[in-house]
Structure formats: C-alpha cells, structure tokens
Structure 1
C-alpha cells in the first residue's frame, strides 16, 4: 500500500509482505479483546454490475500535472493494491494483467507481480504489453516510471490516500481515465453511503477511546507508533475514537515505539495490521514490548487488528474496515450493506 506507509516504511512493508504471504491472521492464545479481522473484511471484492463499456479515448490530467491520453484500456497495470481494488470494483478486473505486491485480495492473487520488493520493474511491466499503467505519486523508482513512459505507455498518476475524504476523488480519477465516469459516480456514492451507515450506527458510549496505531515488524525489529501523518487518524476518528499518537503531540507519520511515547499516548486500544501482530507473537508477544503492558490497552489486552492489504487503502472496502474497527473496539458490528 503505497500510501502513508511510503517513504521510511516502504521497504519494511515490502519485506514483511513477501515473507509472511498474503493470507491468515493469527493471534496467540490468551487474547481477550482482539477479533480475527481477516474474517471481518471480505477477501473478495464486490464489483459493480451493468457497467457500460469504456468510452475512449479520453484525456485527463494526472496528479503529476501531465496530460494523459488513454486510447485503450484493455491491458491495465495498477501499481498499488488500492488502485487494483478500484479497477476491479469498477467492473473492469478482467482487463487487469498484473499487480503489485500489495494487491492481496482473491481476484488479483493469480496475476503476475511486477514489483521487486516494492520497486516497480519496468521490464516486467513492459513484458505484459500494457496499454495503461495506473500509479501512485510515490510509485518508483523514477527511472522505471520514465522507462515505461518512454516505451509509449500512458501512465496515470493518482494522489495517495491519506484519509476518508480521499475515497471518492481516487475512485473518480481512475474511473474518468478508464472512460467509465458514470461507474465512478456509482461506486463513489455506494462507498460513501456504506461508510455513512457505519458511522451513523456507532454504539452509544460515554467516552472516546484513545487508539494508538502501531506499525510492527518483529522479524525486522521495527516497532513504530503512528502520529498525525500516519494516515490512520481519519479512520480512528470515524470510529468515534481519538488518535492517541496524534493527540500526544506526535506530528510526523511514525516515531520509534518507546516506553515514554506509549506513556504519553496512554492508549485505551492498539490498532495494528494483522501480519504485524503475528510477527510479534500475537497479543501475548505484543504486551511484552517495552511499555505496552503498562498502558490501559496493554492491561486490558485491547487490540484491534485489520488485514495489512486493506487497512489504509481508503477505497471500496473502507466501510468494511471501519465496521471491523468499530466491532473490535466496542464489541458489536454496525452498518449493514445497502
């Protein structure tokens, strides 16, 4: 997910995804407040039906300021899991010919991977004869992206997702470039309606729990706490909670997880990616990290886990992510599909 985990985290995330695989969410025995999130967020997508054939060619303005003309969209290569999810959910999954390592949902799993660790392989992309590449502004290396452009392949660049407010604009950007703007509007409306339904059904609670987003990769000894720019704040707040890291004054994306940082954040719950939780030995291992057991979250073993490939995607399945977060925080699900 080349979104807010880009930059300092991107190589660590790529390593973790390649070594831990695409499926499974295990918790150590003794967990009391965590719920298997992989069962809560569907592994398969829900594509729109009745989508008209793309009306092409179209010329759109890419997020990098370039004008991009899309003449055909028969062989599409999205370079992030989030963008792949959007293309598939727009009903155009049969046109996708490759994926990057973060596209872990069932429909994409058999496609060839065109990234090495997390860097784009221009040779792998071009070998599949794409007529459109859809990328994030953080997709790279830049030399690979320029090599793809030099081969005459249109490259649409989309701004990374940072919050719930980005769900609609990202869907629209992709749909417009694929010549299916009406489908983009339908998917945007459906996604927003479902997110709104979850928020409207939040359970009544007197307080707003403080939730700290932790990035964990035990195999690499990487333990970080999210701040105001981690990308999780919007999701946490939509669940009726407070981003403990941001509220404690952490202004960057991530900061090293220390006893002092945890004490200042004083989280009531910990939000983690499922494979990150696995990598430290489940909740039993998590509470052994310095300072965790002394927090309210550690004392009550209140851990919320969501599958890595979807947590911060801010796309068509974000309502499911939010529903899972709410259910794990408060003990019941909300927001039926409509």
Structure 2
C-alpha cells in the first residue's frame, strides 16, 4: 500500500499533547474501603491486606501511584517511584531514586501497611522477600503495559486496596475516554490508509531508540486510529537503536516523543538535525508530538486522557 497520502489530512508543525489536569482526577474523593481482602497476585500468590492507611506504590511507569490517587486514596500514599511525578505526589518520598532499584531501608522507614509493585523493577523479587520478612504484605502485579490492559491494571490495584467499586467506576471512565479518543480520528483515517506515527525515545543524541511492537506506545498509537511506524516497518523488538536508514524506511507521518526527551535533543530544531529525520514525511512537515514523560506510558487511569490528548495533537482537534 502506498504511503504518500497517509498524512494528507494532518496539519503541519509540532504540537504538545496536554492533559486537562496535571494531577489524576479521583473517581471518588472518599471511596468505601472493604477490608480485610485477600487477592491473588500476578505470581499466583494469595496475599491478605488488612490495612491500607500507608500505601507504597512502585513500578517503572508510575501506574500504581497514579491509580492510587485516581481511586481517591492519594492521602494514603507514603512512598512512590520516580515515574509518579505529577504535582500532587511531589512531596511523597521517591523510593526508587535511580528508576530501577528499590531502596529497602527507605521503604521500611515509611512504615507501609501494603506495597504494590511489579517486575518492571528488576530488584522487585529480592525486595519482596526482605519486606515480607519484616511483616509487610507485598502485592506483585503484571509488568506488561498496553492500552488493552489499562482497565485490568486499575481493577487489580482497586481490589488489592479494598475499593472494588471505585475501581470498576474508574475503569469504566477510562474506557469511555478511550472511545472518545478513537472517535477523534473519524474523517482523518480509515482501515486502508492510516497515518504512521513513530515513537522515538531519546536521552540526548547519544541515546535514540525507535519503538516497535510491544513498546507500549504502539498500543496508544493504534488506539487513536493511527499505525505504529516501527511495527509497520517490520521491527521485531519493542525498542531498536535508531538509524537514519531505519527511520526513513519506516516513513512516519508524525513523530511521538516524551517532552524531556525532545528537550534533550534540542527541541524540534535539534531533532530535525538528526540524520534521517527530515527525509521522512514527519520531518518534512515538522510533525512532532510531545507528551509529558510521567503521563505518556503510565497505562492506567490516565490512558484515556492521554489518548484523547494525542488524538487532538495528531488530528488538531479542539478540546
């Protein structure tokens, strides 16, 4: 299928995908809590939680911390990860300072009554053993993150914290937002000619990675009626080192980046100096979309909002 017209209905120039609120909006300011509760975690272990007054939520994406706030339990969160970075969480201790290693001593020091975590943090299993020896219940979730898993992630956290009704309502709100995001593509795309969007992860020009199947960004791109450029170009891995040849072959109509990543390469002007970028339809038309680092791949209660913001940025729909 020819790709020359796949971006014909897209506006030129860069855009920022902006959410209505910097903080997640609680589905209920005072959810009804039912404890004790026993849940089966991702490892098949039965874990009983009797107290959710002091919650620690740790994963690579900020999913669990965001969900705790969106369920209306933000005041119970006493420890977070580096990706849970929205304003309302900034005063809460970051217990994963390097983004991957759980600081056991710091976790114990905040006296948690329950810890939510998953294997997106490589140190999680060693941490779990030490925390459980200290009498702290640890609930381990599924580390996979996609748009399709967002509702199950929400309900997993809600069930573990004894607020299943709030979880169901939050999942329903998220699904409604995802439907709204998909509707924004109407008139701009169809099954035979979808715009291609390439997700580029950057930390300076020395670290440039092109997203492919399983990156997480691919499912967001699909959710707004577009096509993930890395997947369409035949990539097999979630992330592949970016080359000019590979990017040109992917023929993206737009580039998607995290805001801090875009800044790290010198903004749109700096990005377009990277070999291969201006040789793509995206580069030729300066179509670069950026989204907040802590929001884009959080996959949970903000997934619907993120998808709406991305769709509006790509198709230039007004809020």
TM-score, normalised relative to structure 2: 0.90
Superposition deviation, residue 117 in structure 1: 0.5
Runs of 4+ in 1 over 3 A off after TM superposition: 50-53
CA separation in 2, counterparts of 1:109 and 1:166?
A: 26
Correspondence 1:170 to 2:153: yes
Q: 2:39 aligns with which of 57, 60, 69?
A: 60
**1:138 paired residue number:** 120
**1:42 paired residue number:** 21
Cα RMSD for the two superposed structures: 1.5
Note the alpha carbon deviations across 1:260-282, whole angstroms, 9 max, x for none: 11121011110110100000000
Correspondence 1:211 to 2:159: no
Superposition deviation, residue 57 in structure 1: 0.8
Contact persistence 2:184–2:317 (CA under 8 A): no
Correspondence 1:255 to 2:240: yes
SS in structure 2 of the partner of residue 91 of structure 1:
coil
Superposition deviation, residue 137 in structure 1: 2.4
SS in structure 2 of the partner of residue 157 of structure 1:
strand
**1:155 paired residue number:** 138
CA separation in 2, counterparts of 1:249 and 1:49?
A: 44
Note the alpha carbon deviations across 1:111-140, whole angstroms, 9 max, x for none: 111113021101000001101000022224
CA separation in 1, counterparts of 2:16 and 2:281?
A: 21
**1:306 paired residue number:** 291
Distance 1:283 1:52, change over 3 A: closer
Correspondence 1:128 to 2:110: yes
CA separation in 2, counterparts of 1:138 and 1:149?
A: 19
Unaligned runs of 5+ in 2: 1-11
Superposition deviation, residue 94 in structure 1: 0.9
CA separation in 1, counterparts of 2:298 and 2:145?
A: 9
SS in structure 1 of the partner of residue 148 of structure 2:
helix
CA separation in 1, counterparts of 2:142 and 2:318?
A: 31
Unaligned runs of 5+ in 1: 1-31
Superposition deviation, residue 50 in structure 1: 5.7
TM-score, normalised relative to structure 1: 0.85
**2:69 paired residue number:** 88
Deviates more, 1:154-163 or 1:175-184: 154-163
**1:101 paired residue number:** 82
Superposition deviation, residue 41 in structure 1: 5.1
Correspondence 1:77 to 2:62: no
Deviates more, 1:40-49 or 1:224-233: 40-49
Greater fraction of residues in helix:
1
Task: Report the number of matched residues.
Answer: 301
CA separation in 1, counterparts of 2:266 and 2:186?
A: 31
CA separation in 1, counterparts of 2:239 and 2:156?
A: 28
Correspondence 1:325 to 2:310: yes
**1:27 paired residue number:** none
Note the alpha carbon deviations across 1:77-119, whole angstroms, 9 max, x for none: 0003110110111111111111111111111111111113021
